[in-house]
Amino acid sequence: MLPNFQRTCRLSALLLPVLILLAGGMVAQGAQGDKRPVIEVRPKSHTFPPVFEGEALSYAFTVLNKGETDLHIKKVTHA
């Protein structure tokens, strides 16, 4: 009976730090997972004043990143 109890205690003592490390890692990972980029563009539309054919039209939208990690713009498409 006693040797079994001792073996269990020894095993627990060995496993405990491993469990603590694993749990700590999971918590850290969870916290990291909450960090994400947040895109915000305001306003989302623009109306140009009337122009004559051939005149240049150009407009720059301002894009904000309200998140906690880098925002990556993968592509911009237009029709």
Partner 1 sequence: MARYDRVIPPGGRGKVTFSIDTGTVRGEFEKKAAIWSDDPENGVLTLILKGQVKPHILIEPGGYVSLWGVKGRVPQESLTIINNHKEPLKITGIDHDLEGKIRWRLEEIIPGYRYRLKVEDISGRAGEYAGHLIVRTDNPRKPRLVIIVNGTVNPY
Token couple for 30: 């969870």
| Residues that contact partner 1, how many (by CB under 8 A) | 41
Query: Residue 64 half-sphere exposure, CB side, CA atoms within 13 Å?
Result: 7
Using rule CB under 8 A, residue 16 touches partner 1 = no
Report in angstroms how near the CB of residue 32 gets to partner 1 at its nearest: 14
- Our CB check for partner 1 shows the closer of 4 and 62 to be 62
Q: How far apart are CA 6 and CA 16, in angstroms?
A: 15
Token couple for 71: 């925002």
The secondary structure of residue 38, as a DSSP letter, is -
39-78 positions binding partner 1, by CB under 8 A: 39, 41, 44-78
Give the footprint of partner 1 on this chain (CB under 8 A): 36-39, 41, 44-79
